[in-house]
Structure 1
Amino acid sequence: MSDWLSQIQWNEQGLIPVIAQDVNTNQVLMLAWMNQLSLSMTIDKGEAIYWSRSRHRLWHKGEESGHFQKVKEIRLDCDGDTLLIIVEQVGGVACHTGRAHCFYKKWQNQSWVEVDAVIKTPASIYHKGFE
């Protein structure tokens, strides 16, 4: 294993959580996971490539939607167990629900309230159907 990869505290599944943040707005866009291969590919390509835990495969963000994440910076936290990637979010949509980011539900009055609007409908983004 490369020295830089050995400095990362991978979990039992060989994954590390990754927070994606917008380079222009500083908005936290999403949380995803990477393994060693997806991190290496992300660095090589300059675009976010994650490990999809639900699909059990590599996931190039934007591969279906066209909403790629161009990586501007990658940071490792002090414990070595979380990555922060600063990205340019192509198309302004990071969430599969068609919103700018995945954190659109706010705890309010003892319930979760959707506080951010849909920018593009999932049906207009995913031509294979909404997942």
Structure 2
Amino acid sequence: MGTSSQLDTEIAARLKRDANGLVAAIAQDHDTGEVLMLAWMDDEALRRTLATGRATYYSRSRGEYWVKGETSGNTQQVKSVALDCDGDALLLRVEQRGPACHTGTATCFTGRELPLGVQR
């Protein structure tokens, strides 16, 4: 991709964005396979991630880009990025350093299980 300021046209053509131009990005631990978090990316966030190897997301609430761990030190070094079959979600396999969740838990799902109505 080099120094291009735009996302590769082939990749951009495969993305199916929501009405706000965003695609769901799932971060998964590269070594354990554990799902760490869900965030959002637009074309620029994905371009930055692919160019730098640092997970860069778009904050819907703040309306700005953020690099995971830039302020907390809990970084995500990207090992691979895959686009799902429908083109509407990305899977980032990352090396997570520190907790993935801003609340300090290992993942954004740790300790947040919901009760199932059906017992199996």
TM range (shorter): 0.7 to 0.9
Cα distance in 2, alignment partners of residues 46 and 39 from structure 1: 10
Query: Could you tell me how far apart the structure 2 residues matched to 1:67 and 1:21 are?
Result: 14
Q: How does 1:1-131 map to 2 (within 5 A)?
A: 2-91=9-98, 93-104=99-110, 105-108=112-115
Q: Which runs of 5+ in 2 are unaligned?
A: 1-6
- Count of matched residue pairs: 109
**Alpha carbons of 1:109 and 1:4: their partners in 2 closer, same or farther (altered >3 Å)?**
closer
Q: TM-score, normalised by structure 2?
A: 0.86
RMSD: 1.3
Q: Select the structure with the greater relative contact order (CA < 8 A; seq sep ≥ 6).
A: 2
Please tell me the residue identity of whatever aligns with 1:106: E
Q: Name structure 1 gaps, 5 residues minimum.
A: 111-131
Measured after TM superposition, the shift of residue 108 of structure 1 is 3.0
Percent identity between matched residues is 48
Instruction: Give CA deviations for 1:2-47 in whole Å, capped at 9, x if unaligned.
Output: 1211111111101000000001111100000000000000001101
Task: Provide the TM-score with structure 1 as the length reference.
Answer: 0.79
